[in-house]
Every structure is written in structure tokens, then in C-alpha cells.
Structure 1
């Protein structure tokens, strides 16, 4: 059974990745502007003073303008750094902070590493996703870093996944270790799932 789910996930991720690669630079820039506006409003609504976010890849809605704006407003932003043991480390985003290519070719900060438990103090987590379904179940990219992080937190803050509008699906395949999210942020809206309101 698990093998079937794994194959279904793999096929869905491949389809979603292919769709993202067909987006033009103009569409990606517009998506990034929309996501920044939605994230700014979400941070304001929640009164978040410390957040975790990720540095988007070239086919994701760009999160860097949001991160830069948040840092400029005095909000503490933690950025993830992948580790070989399957855990995420964290570094504080800084104005003009360096970015390097981390494991799996992902953009990551070059600052001082704070350890995996640093994320326990944030008011809001903003994470990547391939898709999210209407119940709030998230389909990640298959490495399990964020599922592991969310699943291990004693007091998990609200968790919002950034996706394109077309990536909110009726249903996504799920396994026992998969973690739901509180809501999604797309270029046009922010949606909170009532069942997962942490």
C-alpha cells in the first residue's frame, strides 16, 4: 500500500514540477508580488514578531521580497538550512545576508547556525509545498524535512504553505508521517483551514 502511495506522490510531484516550469518570468514575478502582499497581511493579522520562512527556488513564488521587508520592519526571520541527518538547522535572515547553494541545490543563508530547536520560538511558520488539499494536508517535495520539524514541535505555531492558486487540490495522497498545515498563501489569497487552526 505504502509503495502505491509513494508512486502516486512521485507522479503528482513530477506533474506539478512540470507545470511550474512552464510559467513565464512575468508570471513568476507577479506571483511573488502577490505572495508578498498576502504574507505581509498575514504577519500583521497574527501580530507575528518572529517567523520562519524559506528562500524560494526559481520556480516558486518568490519569498525574498517578503523576507527583506520583514527584516527591514524589525521582524526576526529564521531561514532553514538542510542537514545530512534529515533535520533542519536555522539561521537569522539579515539585511544583505549571503545566500549559498545548500543540499539538493536549494538556496540557503550563510549566517550562523542556531540549531534545529531555534524554530520553536517563532510565532508563524511559512513553508514550501508542491500542493495542499482542501483538508489542509500538504504534499511536500519528498525529503520530509518540514514534516519532521512540524511533527516534533511541542507547541507548533500556525503553519502556512506557499503554493500557486492551481495547487490547492481536492485531495493529495498521504502517509502517516505527513503533517497538515494551518493554511495556505497563494498569489491571490490566504486560506485558513478550520480543522487545522493551531
Structure 2
């Protein structure tokens, strides 16, 4: 059964990678603008003054314009830094540049905080490969966010950011897959679970 679930997850990841790679520059700009507008609506609607987010890499939904907006608004931001032990540290960025992280992924310069620091933000905004209508989030297979969420007694509301076509009715899941509160796409915000 586990092998079957893993094969299905890999199949979906392959489809999403292909779709994202085929996206044109014009489409990417439209997606970025839509996601920025939806994230601003979510953050302002909830009155969030602190968020965790991510710097986009490898075709992930682009949060760069949203992050620029958070700076203008004085919103406290934490960004993840992957550790080789499979956990995430959190960085309060100085916005003065980036360094190459443990896996070659750009990470911001700034104050480095523990994996549990993210438990104090008002809202977590996480990348995903896909998400389903019950809150199952499919990542890219390394489990960083699931481990981080699983280590907290109580987490803030968690929203997965994906393209519109990456919202599925159901996705394969395992016990270690931590469900999200909601979904943000370029066209909508969708609550899928009650908050913990």
C-alpha cells in the first residue's frame, strides 16, 4: 500500500512539474499578480501582523511581490532555512541579500531562529505541489514542512499556495502528512479545515 501511495504521489509531482515548466512568462506574471492579491486579502482580512512565507524556487508560486508588500506594511516575516537534519530553521530577513542554503536553495540573510519560532506567527504560508479539498498537502517529498508542523503542540493557521489546477478533490496521504487550514490560488482563498 505504501508503495502504491508513493507511486501516485510521484505521478502527481511529475504532472505538476510539467505544467509549471510549460507556463509562459506572461502566465507567470498573471499568476504572481493573482497570488499577491489573494495573499494581501488573506493577511489583511485576518489582521495578521506576522507571517511565515517562502522565497520561490524552481517554479513555485511567486511570492516575491507579496514579500515586498509585507516590508512596506511593516509585517514581521519569517522565511525557512532547510537544515541537513530535515528540520527548518526560520530567518527574520534583513532584506540585504541571500546566501546559498544547505541544499543550494537561496536563503535570506538575517536573524536565525529555531524550528519552533514559527509557532508564534499569526499565519503560515507554505509552498505545495498540490493540495486537496480536505486539506491534504502534497509537498515535494523531503517532508520539511510536515516535520516542522508535526513538532508543534499548536500551530498557527496554515495556508498552502498553489496554482488553480493544483487543487484536487482527493490526494494520497500518509500519517505523517499534516493537513492545512486553507488554500491560496491566483483566483481564490479557500478554507478547507477548521483551525487547530
One fold, TM greater than 0.5?
Answer: yes
Deviation at 1:61, TM superposition (A): 2.1
Decide whether the 8 Å contact of 2:130 with 2:167 is kept in 1. yes
Match of 1:39 in 2: 39
Structure number having the greater strand percentage: 2
Q: CA RMSD in A?
A: 1.3
User: What is the distance in 2 between the residues matched to 1:131 and 1:152?
Assistant: 22
1-structure distance, mates of 2:188, 2:17: 21
Equivalent in the alignment of 1:110 = 109
Aligned partners of 1:56 and 1:107 also within 8 Å = no
The two structures have a TM-score, normalised by structure 1, of: 0.94
The match for 1:13 is 13
* Structure 1 residue 102, shift from structure 2 partner: 2.5
- Alignment coverage as a number of residue pairs: 196
Classify the secondary structure of the residue corresponding to 2:111: coil
Residue deviations 1:178-198 (CA, integer Å, cap 9, x gap): 0111001101111111x3333
CA contact (8 A) 2:93 2:111 kept: no
Q: What secondary structure is seen at the aligned counterpart in 2 of 1:110? A: strand
Residue 75 (str. 1) matches residue 82 (str. 2): no
Q: CA deviation at 1:68?
A: 1.5
- Aligned-residue offset at 1:140: 0.6
What is aligned with 2:3? 3
1:97 and 1:38 map into 2 onto residues whose CA distance is: 26
Q: Which runs of 4+ in 1 moved over 4 A?
A: none
Q: Which residue of 1 aligns with 2:122?
A: 123
Gaps of 5+ in 2: none
The residue number in structure 2 matching 1:197 is 195
| Cα deviations by residue, 1:74-100 (Å, 9 ceiling, x for unpaired) | 110000000001000011133x43123
